[in-house]
Structure 1
Amino acid sequence: MGRRARDYDERDVRVRPNRRGSRPRTKERPAHDDAVVGMVTAVDRGRWTALVPADGEHPERVVIAMRARELGRTPIVVGDQVAMVGDTSGADGSLARIVRVEERRSVLRRTADDTDPVERVIVANADQLVIVSALANPEPRPRLIDRCLVAAYDAGMDPLLVLTKSDLARAEDFLAQYEPLGVPHVATAVLEPGSAGLEELRGRLAGRVSVLVGHSGVGKSTLVNALVPDADRATGDVNDVTGRGRHTSTSAIALRLPGGPGGVGWIIDTPGIRSFGLAHVEPARIIEHFPDLAGGAEQGCPRGCTHDEPDCALDAWVADGHAGPGGEGRLDSLRRLLRARSDP
């Protein structure tokens, strides 16, 4: 006969007493109705700098904050509107807590390369992507510009192409390849107050939140210093051996432009880039920004069409005149942008 199983009673139940001062956990989070909202202008080693606008009781102030524990790893980037509690006075030595990231109007993303599935948020709530490229020294990189255009279209941002060093090369020759896209552009040579190119650029930036991107050495930091005289962004030269610029900006920062007739604008300067991964961008989202071609894709393209293959219906759509007089150039531009996702 086997051993009889033991009968259990209440003496075998071990009750763990509550720790002194502990409270039961709850999934409910405080509403933080008293939180103040500010715009993140800089990020530095776990501290966020946010500008809180003036209200009836308090003047405009700069608040330093840390991320609240309940936010976990929620990304908080320059341009975000964040709700803060705690010491939001902005006094020296004060530290607030970011308890909420407000809904974003737009998000500019990139991946490390085209095989990396992890998206990295660069900037939030911008409405214009300013792609800065030199016409010479260093030579322009059309593929990188194309990738930035794809990122702008994907984020729902308006692109603006700024060509520096126009005294060294003709801007018209380079701009011919972007004419079918209708990308607005500004060419600058001398970045001095009152110069035609600089004043035109000021007008296009007024009243908007603009992100500046470009590879190192194109004069982006010099441009920022000309637009915001007290920005004091470090500048560098092009390496004579490699032909590449040296990284000078090491982190993104939002700078307020001097007020003008078009309203107060912001520029967000970002570190120089040498690649712009687009693994997160679906081709279907790119063609949405070509409404004159999207109709042909919907009506005749086979499922999964890359729009750059023999069975693509866009060739016939353009040949029949449905895309207008500039349709052929527009189709070539679309296919160039689609190839930019896989051509480094």
Structure 2
Amino acid sequence: MSDYDESDARIRPSRRGSRPRTKNRPKHADAEQAMVIGVDRGRYSCLIGLGTADERPILAMRAKELGRKSIVVGDSVRVVGDTTGAEGSLARIVGINDRVSVLRRSADDLDSFERVIVANAEHLVIVCAAASPEPRTGFVDRALVAAYAGDLTPVLLMTKTDLADPEPFAAQYRELGAPVLQWRRDEPVDAIADALAGSVSVLFGHSGVGKSTLVNALVPQAGRATGDVAGLTGKGRHTSSSAVALPLAGGGFVIDTPGVRSLGLGHVEPDMVVAAFPDLVEGAEHCPSGCQHLADDPDCALDAWVAEGNSTPERLASLRRLLASRRGQSDDHDDAG
């Protein structure tokens, strides 16, 4: 029987190398601040040196230490590496600053997983056509909920006012205190440019409402593709395929988003949905605890509130459609999208 000592033992070398593992991450003290203005297949177009004489566009990629955290248009980020902006250069995004506002959506009202579309905007400009396609209160109400839930200020912008009088539709939101802007393609865009100057504003609306035409008027060098309304469906064709932030001549940015078919609110709590209807909030305070504010809730105080003239039956019906849809009790996608 042979005797063994430690010299006979064979130690298999580690394949991971000898570098010790650490949880410490580089601090990137030299990182520069930038704003994300476009996202395309894992590459991020950014503006560095905002508001300075050295403002310049750069292209960046995501650093591995960020993991799967989303980066969207409007994000304020920290970048390192080659930030010269020279052709072929590529910087790295190593940090995402806290967001002050977010525009979010879910796939539908039963899906609570939120998808951030835009970050750090001040205004959500809800674009509706006065006609072709017809404006829908259901979509505007949903957009109002998304604005309030994401800490954005909503603005209603009516386009194609040469085709129909926008006031009957716009009046109901003007009475709620929402700013209302109007525009037709054969008139100057100066009033809208003045209203949006100096801020970051998201344009949000159905395909075919003239959003890209408006963007091209506000930012002539944008060159956003435009399209017509499909004759058979009355719905617009998608012309913008991705969100992009474009600088305004008067300062600030306008963010053009792809035309939407639906706006899921599964990530928004019911109380926030009610809060988007300021004419109904006080009436809801008289409801018993646990009231869902639906038509089949026998003790809901909102019916009496409306009967007393504090709001309209149409507004209450819109609120109840949104609340019912979140509970899977409605499939009214026409107002949703």
TM (normalized to structure 1)? 0.84
TM-aligned CA distance change 1:241 to 1:55, over 3 Å: closer
Alignment correspondent of 2:246: 255
TM-aligned CA distance change 1:35 to 1:316, over 3 Å: same
Out of 291, 307, 310, the residue aligned to residue 293 of structure 2 is 307
Structure 1 letter corresponding to 2:270: P
Map 1:325-336 onto structure 2 (within 5 A): 327-329=310-312, 333=315, 336=318
Q: Structure 1 residues 149-158 or 223-232, which shifts more?
A: 149-158
Alignment correspondent of 1:47: 43
Q: CA deviation at 1:275?
A: 0.6
Q: CA deviation at 1:115?
A: 2.0
SS at 2:78's partner residue?
strand
The answer to whether 1:267 aligns with 2:257 is: no
Q: CA–CA distance in 2 between the matches of 1:317 and 1:13?
A: 86
- Contact 1:222/1:233 (<8 A) preserved: yes
Map 1:225-240 onto structure 2 (within 5 A): 225-240=216-231
Q: CA deviation at 1:307?
A: 2.8
Alignment correspondent of 2:329: none
Q: CA deviation at 1:257?
A: 0.4
SS at 1:174's partner residue?
helix
Q: CA–CA distance in 2 between the matches of 1:106 and 1:14?
A: 59
Q: CA deviation at 1:64?
A: 0.7
Deviations 1:105-153 (A, max 9, x none): 0011001111223211000000100111111112222211211111111
TM-aligned CA distance change 1:293 to 1:94, over 3 Å: same
TM-aligned CA distance change 1:107 to 1:11, over 3 Å: farther
Q: CA deviation at 1:11?
A: 9.9
Q: CA deviation at 1:19?
A: 5.2
SS at 1:327's partner residue?
coil
Q: CA deviation at 1:290?
A: 5.6
Deviations 1:50-82 (A, max 9, x none): 1012688x7111111111111111000000001
Q: CA–CA distance in 1 between the matches of 2:77 and 2:91?
A: 11
Gaps of 5+ in 1: 1-8, 321-325
Q: CA–CA distance in 2 between the matches of 1:174 and 1:214?
A: 15
Alignment correspondent of 1:210: 201
RMSD: 2.7
Alignment correspondent of 1:89: 84
Alignment correspondent of 1:339: 321
TM-aligned CA distance change 1:55 to 1:312, over 3 Å: closer
Deviations 1:240-278 (A, max 9, x none): 22222111100000001002xxxx121100001011111
- Contact 2:174/2:180 (<8 A) preserved: no
Q: CA deviation at 1:235?
A: 0.6
- Contact 2:305/2:311 (<8 A) preserved: no
- Contact 2:185/2:214 (<8 A) preserved: no
TM-aligned CA distance change 1:222 to 1:215, over 3 Å: same
Q: CA–CA distance in 2 between the matches of 1:174 and 1:201?
A: 19
Alignment correspondent of 2:147: 152
- Contact 2:245/2:253 (<8 A) preserved: yes
Deviations 1:149-197 (A, max 9, x none): 11111111111111111111111121233244222111212344xx3xx
Alignment correspondent of 2:96: 101
- Contact 1:283/1:338 (<8 A) preserved: no
Q: CA–CA distance in 2 between the matches of 1:216 and 1:230?
A: 21
Alignment correspondent of 2:274: 287
- Contact 2:34/2:50 (<8 A) preserved: no
SS at 1:328's partner residue?
coil
